[in-house]
Structure 1
Amino acid sequence: MGTAEPQAGTPRTVDRKQALAQVLRQRIITMELPPGAVLDEIALSEEFGLSRPPVRELMRQMAAEGYIELEANRAARVASMNYQSLRNFFLAAPLIYIATTKLAALDASATEIADLKAIQAKFRHAVQQGDVDSRVYYNDQFHLAIGKMAHNPYLLPSLHRLLIDHARLAKTFYQPGSQHMQHELATAVQQHDEIIAAIERHDANTAVEIIRAHLELSRRNMAMYVTPEGLDIPVE
């Protein structure tokens, strides 16, 4: 006799649904599932041992978070990313990152800071090992942890959405293959350490200064990718 499939809402189904959510989020932010990729509900149901209703419920949840796009009579797709995404990111990023980092410096607990240091250790290891997917993932987790430390329910949803494209842009533009890029990544690691130190001292002003520099590092490297070194741009 076969084993009956667990009903929606049972502990086994909830655990499998959470596992699917974690895997899908990681596949999207590391670009294993690229922008616009179709999500096969049947394949995902079979992979995680779920019926289709909890998978569809998860799709709606992830669409609300900004990971995927749902349209009537079309399969779910990974959220698109284009020039407008890049522009919107750099318009919104300073506002959100500065606000969450400042509040984190004011409100973070010792336990939260310890958790942030643990994430930073994994980020540093990924950079040292040249593990691009892990680097992107733990950078995402680093800034998300700071957002949670801000304890602000208005800012966290915006940060969640911002981080989706931050991770995907990082995977697109930060491909370490040169001495210059290795230096930039080392600088990013150092800036993370400095942000942690400022938060631990509850020094909001310094934390804000460092996160500004951190964002400028991202902007500069993405601009270098779009405009390769040595290309003369005429100025009118």
Structure 2
Amino acid sequence: MDDDFSERAALPVEHGGDRKAQLVETLRRRILSLELKPGAIVDEVELGAEFGLSRPPVRELLRQMAAEGYLELAPNRATRVSALSYESIRSFFQCAPVIYSATTQLAAERATPADVARLRAIQARFKEAIAAHDIDLRIHCNDQFHLEIGKIANNAHFMPSLQRVLLDHARLGKIFHQPSPSAEKSFTSMAVHEHDLIIDAIERQDASAAVEIIRTHMELSRRRMSSYAMPDFLNIPLAS
């Protein structure tokens, strides 16, 4: 894995707008999947060459992604992927339940049948990713699921915070992926079930139920990460 974004195969490109959208989507996926690690340098010259864009539009796209929390920009310094430190993890666990609850409540109050249909389509891809044991696609679909709820909520003040929460949630999900098949199967089965319950609550516009489920869903993620960091004691006999 190259932290300096070098030696990547160029992707096919088409019109300028398509190239810009492709750059943003590809860069987001690389960050969410940890292909680009926290703190990794993002070279705008290499990005421009890869996607067939000049430096001004690349810089503008990087500024946009920095505003969304994906990147860190500083004068006279290279652009870097946002750090993931002890403080940022602590902030995530303080903020995530509040943001998820607020956006899910608003989504339940405002969702249209078309909104619910989009959530179900994303959920279908989430299930397919799990069945295929594709962790990167699973993380991406989970990110899209909760982002879509934020779009349905349609609150400009919540969206920047939601995007940063989702960024760290995705990266933590990859870091704390359970190598144990039984543990991972238990987690993914519960995550799928809770997603279905969230969609059902949003569809019937039951905001209270939707908020309760999303809090339970967040607790599932917290327990999963805690169990990874502090596993059960190994069954090793003590020396006499």
Deviations 1:120-158 (A, max 9, x none): 000011112110000000000000001111121111121
How high is the TM-score relative to the length of structure 2? Answer: 0.89
1:176 to partner: Cα distance: 4.4
Q: Which runs of 5+ in 2 are unaligned?
A: 1-13, 235-240
CA contact under 8 A between 1:176 and 1:182: conserved in structure 2? no
The aligned residue for residue 181 of structure 2 is 178
| Match of residue 114, structure 2, among 106, 111, 115 | 111
Residues 1-236 of structure 1: pairs in structure 2 closer than 5 A: 12-230=15-233
Query: Aligned residue for 1:7?
Result: none
The separation in 2 between residues aligned to 1:77 and 1:185, in whole angstroms, is 31
Q: 3-state DSSP class of the match of 2:97?
A: helix
TM-score (norm 1): 0.90
Tell me how far apart the structure 2 counterparts of residues 67 and 186 of structure 1 sit (CA, whole Å): 29
Deviation of residue 227 (structure 1)? 0.9
Q: Which one-letter code corresponds to 1:222 in the other structure?
A: M
Displacement, 1:177? 2.7
Paired residue total: 221
In angstroms, what is the RMSD of aligned CA positions?
1.3
Unaligned runs of 5+ in 1: 1-10, 232-236
Q: Is the 8 A contact 2:122 2:145 kept in 1?
A: yes
- Cα displacement string for residues 21-72 of structure 1 (whole angstroms, at most 9, x for unaligned residues): 1111111111111111111112111110011111111111111111011122
Q: Aligned-pair distance for 1:13?
A: 2.2
Q: Aligned partner of 1:169: which letter?
A: L
| Percent identity (aligned) | 56
